[in-house]
Amino acid sequence: MYDEICEQPAALTRTLKSELRAAERLKRLVAANPPRFIVLVARGTSDNAAQFARYLIEICTGIPVSLAAPSIFTLYQANVDYRGALVVAISQSGESTDINVVLERARAQGALTIGITNEPRSSMVPLAAHVFLVRAGKEKSVAATKTYTGQMMALYLIAYALGARIRIADLERIPAWTEAALGLAPAIEALAQRYRFMEQAVVVGRGLNYANAFEFALKMMETCYVVAERFSSADFLHGPIALVEKGFPLFLFAPSGVTWPSMKEMLEKLRHLKAETLIVTDRQNMEAPADAGRAIVIPARIPELFTPIPYIIPAQLFAAALAREKGLDPDRPRTLSKVTQTL
């Protein structure tokens, strides 16, 4: 897991360079016939990437985006009308049966279909009209890391093709920001020691980093066996904050930009409750380190739109380090396998 975390800058660069041509083709295609709405279908870590895409695409293009529930097809045998839609299936292995069923049926209805996968020979590839390959190389650890960020890079390219005002030059900076985050590994290793006996936690993100709250929590659950709940800061203040007591651990993604005022308000409430808070931020947010008890600060100034990939790196490093602190093997979580097939 740790080795694959460190491979991400190179994997992101490969994905961007290799799939830019596919993005340009898609851009020409949708310019003539733009989709009325977009449906994303995925499971697990890939579903967290889809959650990121929902925010990214709606913020940057205004096209409505929905997350599919595959069981509507596979269990309830419902006939959902996807005509006029763009259906994007996301799967690290490309072998998730229910994901592929949705993709296949949507294409049969005439929907424009895209598959995002790390496996060029997978079952997904022939089912999709257009394919974006995550060029991450073989991912051996059960816990997905480099395929998650690779999917996010592919989704930036899809958003670009759909008309988002995203400059390719800015996407080319993401691997360097990711490298800067990797440089924090020794400090995060030391920090993880403090949380060795943690059994439960809450992870908070909002907007573009809401998906990272789900992904960080998932990584702690599957590699460290920590019961980790995830919320937006708005939802957390509407009720779950009642569970916070002195020393309760909370992890927060806190970029500068439109989500910072609500995150700052939440940090102030948590300070009064004497919670154990740790934030992930960067040098663009000048207020955050002064307003939080502990902070992981990426040594770069990152515009909010491009924070999700660099920000998940410290979370991945923390999960891997905490697993080792707990005497666990993050590469082989109990009862899990690399490919999960569901119906």
Dump pLDDT digits (tens) for 153-175. 999 999 999 999 999 999 999 99
- Do 187 and 144 lie in a common domain? no
pLDDT band at 342 (very low <50, low <70, confident <90, very high): low
Confidence at residue 280, expressed as pLDDT on a 0 to 100 scale: 97
pLDDT band at 238 (very low <50, low <70, confident <90, very high): confident
Closest CA to 309 of 159, 155, 116: 155
Confidence at residue 190, expressed as pLDDT on a 0 to 100 scale: 94
What secondary structure letter does DSSP report for 286?
Answer: S
Q: Please give the backbone phi and psi of residue 340, each rounded to the nearest 5 degrees, phi first.
A: -115, 120
Domain count, the chain: 2
Closest CA to 294 of 267, 257, 255, 320: 267
| CA–CA gap between residue 238 and residue 232 (Å, rounded) | 10
Confidence at residue 237, expressed as pLDDT on a 0 to 100 scale: 75
| CA–CA gap between residue 55 and residue 306 (Å, rounded) | 12
Closest CA to 49 of 172, 168, 161, 132: 132
Orientation of helix 44-61 relative to helix 146-161, angle to 10°: 30
Please report, for residues 10, 88, 93, 202, 317, the alpha-carbon distance to residue 44 in angstroms, rounded to integers and kept in the order given.
24, 15, 12, 18, 19
- Do 236 and 273 lie in a common domain? yes
Confidence at residue 340, expressed as pLDDT on a 0 to 100 scale: 57
Dump pLDDT digits (tens) for 70-126. 899 889 988 899 999 999 999 999 999 999 999 999 999 999 999 999 999 999 999
Please report, for residues 42, 118, 130, 342, the alpha-carbon distance to residue 95 in angstroms, rounded to integers and kept in the order given.
11, 11, 17, 10
Would you say residue 332 lies in a domain?
Answer: no
Confidence at residue 293, expressed as pLDDT on a 0 to 100 scale: 53
Cα 29–Cα 49–Cα 199 angle in degrees, nearest 5: 175
Closest CA to 86 of 132, 129, 150, 134: 129
Closest CA to 222 of 54, 77, 57, 340: 340
- Do 114 and 211 lie in a common domain? no
pLDDT band at 336 (very low <50, low <70, confident <90, very high): low
| CA–CA gap between residue 321 and residue 115 (Å, rounded) | 33
Tell me the CATH number at 39.
3.40.50.10490
C-alpha torsion angle, residues 231, 234, 235, 240 (rounded to 10): 80
Q: What percent of the chain has pLDDT over 70?
A: 96
Average confidence score pLDDT of the chain: 93
DSSP-H helix ranges across 64-202: 71-74, 97-108, 124-127, 146-161, 168-171, 174-182, 185-192
Beta bridge partners of 90: 42, 116
Would you say residue 53 lies in a domain?
Answer: yes
If one compares 260 and 289, the residue with the highest pLDDT of the two is 260
**Strand, coil or helix: 137:** coil
Q: What percent of the chain has pLDDT over 90?
A: 82
- Do 120 and 208 lie in a common domain? no
Q: Which helix (H) or strand (E) holds 250?
A: strand 249-253
pLDDT band at 334 (very low <50, low <70, confident <90, very high): low
- Do 11 and 158 lie in a common domain? yes
Domain limits for position 146: 2-172
- Do 257 and 294 lie in a common domain? yes
Would you say residue 284 lies in a domain?
Answer: yes
Would you say residue 212 lies in a domain?
Answer: yes
Confidence at residue 142, expressed as pLDDT on a 0 to 100 scale: 85
Candidate from 17-26, 188-197, 284-293, 325-334 with smallest mean pLDDT? 284-293
Cα 209–Cα 214–Cα 219 angle in degrees, nearest 5: 120
Which region, left, alpha or beta, applies to residue 207 given φ > 0 means left and ψ of -120 to 50 means alpha?
Answer: left
Would you say residue 54 lies in a domain?
Answer: yes
Confidence at residue 234, expressed as pLDDT on a 0 to 100 scale: 86
Residue that finishes a domain, picked among 112, 145, 172: 172
Beta bridge partners of 297: 281
Confidence at residue 331, expressed as pLDDT on a 0 to 100 scale: 84
Dump pLDDT digits (tens) for 192-228. 999 999 999 999 999 999 999 999 999 999 999 999 9
Confidence at residue 73, expressed as pLDDT on a 0 to 100 scale: 86
**Burial classification of residue 229, based on how many CB atoms lie within 10 Å of its CB (0-12 exposed, 13-18 middle, 19 or more buried):** middle
- Kind of pairing between the strands at 65-67 and 37-42: parallel
* pTM flag (> 0.75): yes
Closest CA to 247 of 291, 201, 296: 201
Would you say residue 30 lies in a domain?
Answer: yes
